[in-house]
Structure 1
Amino acid sequence: MSTTRRWSPRGVWSGVLLSGFVGLTTYACGSESDTPDVAIVDERGGGGAITIFTDRTELFFEYPPMVAGAPGGVWAVHLTDLSDFQAVTTGRLTLEFHGSDGRTFTTIDEAPSRPGVFGPSPSLPAAGLYDLVMTLEGSQVSDEILVGPIRVYASEDDLPQLVEEEAGIGISFLKEQQWPIDFATVVAEPRVVSPGLEVTGELISAPGGVADIAAPVAGIIRWDLNRAAPAEGAWVDEGEPLVRLSPVGGDDTYASLKARAEGLQIEVERTRRLVAAEAVPARRLEEARHDLRVVVAQLEALDASPDEDYTLTLHAPIAGSVVRRDFVTGQRVDAGASLLTLLDPRTLHLRLHVPAAHASQLGNVVAATFTPEGTRAVHRTTRLLSVGVALDPMRRAVPVAFEVANPNDVFKAGMLVSGRLLSSVPGPALAVPAESIVDEDGLFVVYVMTGGEMFARRVVTLGVTDGEWTTVRSGVLRGDRVVTRGQYQIKLASLNTSEISDVGHAH
């Protein structure tokens, strides 16, 4: 008989039978949680199989009937690390059985007998219900799992009769088959899923995230002064020196301005002393200061520092990567020639193109999802920057721009994307990840985990989608755990399990 138990990490659980069965008794020893763990229990002749998910691990274990005082049979305890859905390969497993009389009995398994599988053999002295807690301690993952009541029978005569189950009630797909492949499951839950409008677009640099470093005056990029100039792909910080330019040319070159500034600075100091001695009128000092300010302003326009010598150092106006280098050392460049282009990739813009026929649907846009070329991953952004007020005459489309955070440099400026514009909706609805849905000959199907190694194929009726999550009107219940990676292998297992693997369990 299969049941589902839900409880909080503090120990509250209640059991409710799956569709078609009567409810179980509620057990409590703490307060309820908003994010309960879930157990699927399959009872078989006094023993059974239990599947439990926490936020860190999946526990699936099969245990034989337990008789008081009898040697314990071997349990098959399967533990999966939910960070990557791979087998737990290291660690110590402790089983604590808490009796109603206050006594606690402990069984320890020091290491897995094979990857992902522990084999403890607990034995208990007295009949009754024991609350079982399993504790995993290891470098890969650690967790405390509240299993709930395990019954110990007084004698073998008290064991319930083992009823043969009807064949074909599910798809068997063993843990040893799940662990080697790209496999994952996600819980179906109510979510706000905005209806979407499919569009195309591209990722572009943010206006303030790109800078062109141009030569302010004609000059020579001397080899001996620019051996450390950054190459394409190098990261530079804001204010970091990039290129040293040795100016050449006529009277208005950098060197001429620098010399005039130095001469005017000397003239200001000399005139100040003469004014102090009343040898010249104060007007002469004001004129000298004015001439100096004009020349200093001209130098500042060239991004020159007062401490520079007769070479001009160009600095990075932003932090970013060098995406283009347009010079070689020893080259003479003209004023205005591009030397370097910098791009700060940490924030990009997503520009989507909405066909003119859908321009009237842009009033309630709140977010967007997008998939860059060459990937299947769906990303979301909610930072709406602008909605165009005019059509692009070439594309006949309205541009819509979003800001996209890119802290790990996953996205590249210039990438094409397929996107979906999302509008606001009134409330949450039951949804599953879009990647969990499989199109099988025109039927939309999901595979639902009904036990640690059992799955069911469900035909679903779909609602709206935002490209990342899709609402379902039928076929899936809240709390069902749907397969998001590995569906094809489960489908093959449903046709002929022996074609997938000959791995089995000793029961």
Structure 2
Amino acid sequence: MKTYISFVTIIAVIFFTACNQGKEEHNEDSKGIHTQAEGESHNHSDDDGHDHAKGESNHTDEISFTKTQAEAVGLIVETVSPGAFQQVIKTSGQIQASQGDEATIVSTSNGIVSFSNRSITEGAAVRSGEAIVTVSAKNLLEGDPSTKVKIVYETAQKEFSRAEKLIKDNIISAKEYEQIRLRYETAKTAYEAQAANITSSGVRITSPISGFIKNRLVSQGDYVSVGQPIATVSQNKRLQLRAEVSENYYKSLKNIGGANFQTSYDNEVYKLSDLNGRLLSFGKASGGQSFYIPVTFEFDNIGDIISGSFVSVYLLSNPLENVISVPVSALTEEQGLNFVYLQLDEEGYKKQEVTLGQSNGDRVQVLSGLKAGDKVVTKGVYQVKLAAVSSIMPEGHSHSH
């Protein structure tokens, strides 16, 4: 009986142990399967999310701008190539008329001014010998000077004719005759100087050169005296650029060989090298009232440059080699950062941040962000920028599919 009970107990223990072991194995298998499923699900999610984000990033980086659009806006691309550049001193300056290119019209008589033509204003074209004003003294208390000159001349002429007869008969001395002759010659010179310009309304004052009226210094009805300036005429063929440079750059002035300047009225950048320009001089000291040194250039006027206008000046100094630069027109600015647009292929573009150096008004040195061979958009930049905005995909766009 005891043997039977022991045998049953052993069988029960073996059965219980086997059941527990199977349960543990089942749990481990289930746990493993569950863990694996979770891992697969996690890895799949990560991989899919990563690939999707990467694809979307690539999509938004590239700007689509078709060949048809490029042709419509006249898009121009420049291939980046390191080349020569020059150190630049940026300052301000003024356009002035060249010496000898202007003439001042002065009055040859005392009297009241009357302009010959209402169109004689600043900027009006005039010809050499053309009457600008008439000066009349008919109603003045001291009388008409031109009439006086004529009377003096006619009187001296009669005295001289009489003296010629008297000298032959030795009635007057040679000394008296010579004095009469000198008075006659003086009166004749004064009369002939005005005779050609004397009219019934007064003395005509003419322009000595052809050009345009730069300054009109008197008005209708003003009184003028002999030698008083009436107007300034400029031929405007050659102009001067006078730049004011801080004395901090004094040691660099000897290296300046040229300049570019930009006008405020049309934002056009002019190169003196294209205008037959040359350096005339630079000051050896600053002015008494300022800390600036004048640097003066002379150049041909192509007809679009206004004498007297103020300009931005880019003085060109020492040459620099192997410099990457782009036209000013290629640049855009956003929140203090500078960008250009690169052409990736025929219809693909990319926005690229750049770090800038010196500017000569026409081109800008690029310190970083570009390399040789890059294709930079130089015309049509604004249109490509608009295309960049319209190319941005809404957030979560691909997830809705």
TM-score (norm. length: structure 1) = 0.53
Q: Residue 490 of structure 1: SS of its match in structure 2?
A: helix
Deviation digits for residues 266-295 of structure 1, max 9, x if unmatched? 555665677789987776665455334444
Alignment of structure 1 residues 171-210 onto 2, 5 Å: 171-178=63-70, 181=73, 183-186=75-78, 188=80, 192-210=84-102
Contact 2:137 2:144 in 1 (8 A): no
* Identity rate, percent: 28
> How far, CA to CA, are the matches of 1:288 and 1:482 in structure 2?
87
Instruction: Tell me whether 1:322 sits opposite 2:187 in the alignment.
Output: no
CA contact (8 A) 2:60 2:391 kept: no
Give TM-score, length-normalised by structure 2: 0.65
> In structure 2, what is the Cα distance between the partners aligned to 1:448 and 1:347?
42
Unaligned runs of 5+ in 2: 1-57, 394-401
1:415 paired with 2:309, answer yes
Cα 1:194–1:201 shift into 2, 3 Å: same
The offset of 1:388, in angstroms, is: 1.2
- Name the one with the larger strand percent: 1
Change in Cα spacing, 1:429 to 1:414, as seen in structure 2 (3 Å) is same
Q: Structure 1 residue 328: deviation in Å?
A: 5.0
Higher helix share: 2
Task: State the Cα distance separating 1:387 from its structure 2 match.
Answer: 0.5
Secondary structure of the residue that 1:204 maps to in structure 2? strand
State the alpha-carbon separation in 2 of the partners of residues 245 and 415 from structure 1. Answer: 33
> Within 5 Å, which residues of 2 pair with 1:144-293?
171-178=63-70, 181=73, 183-186=75-78, 188=80, 192-221=84-113, 226-227=116-117, 230-247=120-137, 250=142, 253-265=145-157, 287-293=179-185
| In structure 2, distance between residues paired with 1:270 and 1:363 | 71
Distance in 1 (CA, whole Å) between partners of 2:344 and 2:235 is 48
Judge conservation of contact 2:146–2:198 (CA < 8 Å) in 1: no
Provide the residue aligned with 2:50 in structure 1. Answer: none
Match of 2:284 in 1: 389
User: How much has 1:473 moved relative to structure 2?
Assistant: 6.2
SS at match of 1:411: coil
Give the secondary structure class of the aligned counterpart of 1:261. helix
User: Which runs of 5 or more structure 1 residues have no equivalent in the other structure?
Assistant: 1-165, 500-507
Counterpart residue identity of residue 341, structure 2:
Y
Q: How far, CA to CA, are the matches of 2:182 and 2:358 in structure 1? A: 70
Change (3 A) 1:293 1:385: farther
Name the residue aligned to 2:247: 356
RMSD (Å), alpha carbons: 4.0
Match of 2:262 among 371, 374, 381: 371
Question: How far is the alpha carbon of 1:414 from its aligned partner?
Answer: 3.0
2:331 to 427, 434, 437: 437
In structure 2, which of residues 175, 196, 199 is the aligned counterpart of residue 307 of structure 1? 196
Contact 1:247 1:312 in 2 (8 A): no
Aligned-partner SS, 2:86 = coil
Q: SS state of the match for residue 197, structure 1?
A: strand
Q: Deviations over 1:375-396 (max 9, x none)?
A: 4322122421221122122221
| CA drift at 1:357 | 1.8
Give the Å deviation of 1:363.
0.9
Greater Rg by CA: 2
CA contact (8 A) 1:229 1:243 kept: no
For the structure 1 residues 252 and 245, does the alpha-carbon distance in structure 2 shift closer, same or farther, using more than 3 Å as the test? closer
The alignment partner of 1:395 has SS state of coil
| Cα displacement string for residues 164-208 of structure 1 (whole angstroms, at most 9, x for unaligned residues) | xx9789533234434555754456566542211111122233343
> Following the alignment from structure 2 to structure 1, what is the Cα–Cα distance between the partners of residues 345 and 152?
85
Mean CA deviation greater in 233-242 or 432-441? 432-441
Aligned to 1:340: 231
* Paired residue secondary structure (1:194): strand
Using the alignment, how far apart are the partners of 1:351 and 1:274 within structure 2? Answer: 66
Find the partner of 1:491 among 360, 378, 385.
385
- Judged with a 3 Å threshold, the aligned counterparts in structure 2 of structure 1 residues 220 and 351 are, in CA distance, closer, same or farther, namely same
- Distance change (3 Å), C-alpha of 1:276 and 1:484: farther
